[in-house]
Structure 1
C-alpha cells in the first residue's frame, strides 16, 4: 500500500481531485502524522520482535526506533537458541522477594521482568543482568514516514480506512471558521477513533484462548 493510494482515496472524500485546495506535500504530512497517531492509540500496529542486548543491571531500554516496551518472551542463549522463559511480575512482588533486589549480583539469565507505565521505553529485569546477554522482547516501534507519494505506508493495509479519515480530519481542521468544515472534521475524527476501537474489540474476540 503506497502513500499515493491513501491520498487518492482521501481526495475523493475531500472532493479535491485536482489539488486545488490541498497539495500533495500537505496531505503526505498528514498521512505521516496519521501513522504516528494510530501507533499511539494501537501500539501493536507496529510491534517488533527482537533480541535485545541487555545493559548491566536491572534497567533496560528498547531500541532507538521503539517508543514503548510491550513484553519480554524468553532468554536467548549464547548460540542464539531459545533460553528460559521470563515472566511478568509486579514491583511489589519483587520487593516481597528481596527489598534489595536491584542491587543483587548480576546473572546471565533473567527470570522475571517488571514495567513502569510512567517510563514506556524502559523495563526492569530480575535478577539483574551481567550485561551483554540477550532477551527476546516485543516493543512498539515508531512508523517510518513516507518521504514521497511512491513510498510504502509503514503499517498494515487494515489501517487504510483510519489513515484516510485522519487526513480528512486534518484537512478540514478542528479550528476551521467554516461550520461545515468543522462538522466534517469531527465526523472523520470520530470514524478514525471508532475504527481503531472496533479493531481492538475484534482482536480481543479472535485472540487464541486456552481451553
Structure 2
C-alpha cells in the first residue's frame, strides 16, 4: 500500500479514533458470535473484509477519502497523480480554474508544447483517465499545485488499527462486514436474506458508481466552450 501524502489541512476530515468502533460487536455480541472469540468469523477474516470494504468505498465514493495535498508537478502540461492518490477531485481556490481540454486544443493545437511557466491559469481533467490531468500553460518542473485528491486509506492490520474513515461512514463499513459475514454462512437459516439486506444498506450509503462518478469529478459543473 503506498504511503499516504501529507495533507495540507489535517483537520479537514474527522477520522474514527476507535478501531472497529461499531464493528467490535463481532468480537463481543452474543447475537453475532455466540461461541468464543474467533470461532464463527476469525479476526483475520474480519480485518480482510474491512480492507475490502474500504477499497469498495473508495471506488464508489472517493470523496470519503479526500484530502488537500501539495502536488509537485513535472515539466510540461500532462501531470500524473502520486501513487498514493486514487483520483483528482478538485483544485481548490479561484487562481487555477478548470477548462475543457478541447477548448484549449481548438485555440492552439500545439499548446502542450508551449513555453513553460511557474504561473498556472487552468487545468483540464478527463474521467476516462482519472489519475491524469493537464495544466495550462505547461509548467516548470518543481512547481507545486494544491489539489483535492482521494487518498488511498492506510491498511487495517489488527483489531486495534484505526479505521481510516470519517465517523459518519462507520455504519456503512459495518454493513459491508455484515454482508460478508452472513454471506460466508449463507446456508444457515435467514443468513442469505441478512447478507442481501446488509449489502443493500451498504450500497444505499455509497450510491451507485455511475452516479457518483459525476458527483466526484472536477467536471461536475459546466465550463465554457
Match of 1:96 in 2: 106
Deviations along 1:172-203, one digit per CA (max 9) or x if unpaired, are: 22894557322221110001111234xx99xx
Does structure 2 conserve the Cα–Cα contact (< 8 Å) formed by 1:105 and 1:128? Answer: yes
Partner Cα distance (1:174, 1:92) in 2: 49
Asked if 2 retains the 8 angstrom alpha-carbon contact of 1:3 and 1:146, the reply is: no
Q: In structure 2, what is the Cα distance between the partners aligned to 1:112 and 1:165?
A: 41
- Count of residues in Structure 1 that have an aligned counterpart in Structure 2: 192
TM-score of the two chains, using structure 1 as the length reference: 0.81
Q: Which residues of structure 2 form unaligned runs of 5+?
A: 1-16, 216-225
Instruction: Answer yes or no: is 1:33 the counterpart of 2:58.
Output: no
CA–CA distance in structure 2, aligned partners of residues 14 and 40 of structure 1? 31
Give the structure-2-normalised TM-score: 0.77
Q: Structure 1 unaligned segments of length 5 or more: list them.
A: 75-83, 205-211
1:143 and 2:153 correspond: yes
1:5 aligns with 2:24: no
| Separation in structure 2 between the aligned mates of residue 120 and residue 53 of structure 1, nearest angstrom | 17
- Maintained 8 Å contact 1:9/1:164: no
Correspondences of 1:56-205 after superposition (within 5 Å): 56-73=75-92, 85-173=95-183, 176-178=186-188, 180-197=190-207
The residue number in structure 2 matching 1:43 is 62
Bigger fraction of residues in strand: 1
RMSD over aligned Cα atoms: 2.6
User: Do the aligned partners of 1:7 and 1:28 also contact (CA within 8 Å) in 2?
Assistant: no
